[in-house]
Amino acid sequence: MPELTNRFDAPDTLMKSTSIKDERASKVGPAGIDIAYQRLGKADAPAVLLVMGIAAQSIHWPDAFCQALAAGGLQVIRFDNRDSGLSTHMTDAPPPNLPAALAGDLSSVSYTLSDMAADAVGLLDCLRIEKAHVAGASMGGAIAQTMAIEHPDRVRSLTSMMATTGNMQVGQPSPEVLRTIFSGPPAVTRDEAIQQRLRAVRAMGSPGYPADEEEVAVGAGRAFDRCHDPAGTARQVVATVASGDRTELLRRLKVPALVIHGLADKMCDVSGGRATAEAIPGAELVLMEGMGHNLPPGLRSELAALIARFVWRAEPPPAVLAR
């Protein structure tokens, strides 16, 4: 049986930086890994599971965004994917080889998005949540889609944000953004990681909604203090490449779906969001002017309200009391 502990040991500086405490689930899913997570809202409220993307941690779901969802009457769970944050890192895996994976050689792939989706379902098991509203951003959107495809009985609704279908003809990043983010030596020190994150947000952020660079820097430092693992990030990248095109599988979904995408997204072109909504029967597509590939302060309340309204529409009506 999975094991659940009430608090995850973490540096004092981290615990003081947020009122949302870290917890840990052990022996999660088929892989039997540890998953670090945070939970807020009432335990008997409809559950919204938030899934983050490549190189991101649970804390990259902004506290204010999560608190806005909870204020809307929802239970919010955010967590660190495998190979990120305080969850298990697959250090015994083979060195990831992205050029080889892109060329079709998957020998360096140690897991896929299906494994990451199974981790998320395993966390629901630990929390004794039968069904959740699953919302994912970027790679997290692809994981959320995979959950809906492979575990439809566990997903009450799907929100796919700034994500794509896996079809390499859509949702591709701007070459300029890739050069900006990935050129130069990898970050090693805390300050280098902060500067790298600032460059990334400037390149792929939301031109219509400026980022708070002080907040970005503090968040990048927090993330570094929790865990800095470039090899884990690379394993997530090759997992995404190896997972292929989900378009035909998305066409078979029978779950309420909301697709949110920024019209100014340079990391995942808006064609990825459009293709996702086109593939999922009955999906609602919301395109945001001025939004890029982040969750800027000026959009958090609007996004939280949009998701909360969608979730409540997808909730089953209360059972009629027998007379």
CA–CA dist 15, 8 (Å, integer): 10
What confidence score (pLDDT) does residue 9 get? 34
Q: What are the tens digits of pLDDT across the range 1-13? A: 333 333 333 333 3
| Mean pLDDT for the chain overall | 92
What confidence score (pLDDT) does residue 319 get? 55
What confidence score (pLDDT) does residue 14 get? 28
What confidence score (pLDDT) does residue 21 get? 86
What confidence score (pLDDT) does residue 102 get? 85
Going along the chain from its start, the domains and CATH numbers come out as 3-171+230-314 (3.40.50.1820)
What confidence score (pLDDT) does residue 182 get? 83
CA–CA dist 158, 164 (Å, integer): 14
Q: What are the tens digits of pLDDT across the range 236-256? A: 999 999 999 999 999 999 999
DSSP 163-189: ---S-TTSSPPPHHHHHHHH-SSPP-S
Q: Which has the closest alpha carbon to 114: 259, 239, 23, 222?
A: 239
Handedness of CA 120, 124, 125, 126 (dihedral sign): positive
Residues in contact with 89: Cβ distance below 8 Å, sequence separation at least 6, in sequence order = 82, 83, 227, 229, 232
Spans of the chain below 50 pLDDT = 1-18, 320-323
What confidence score (pLDDT) does residue 19 get? 58
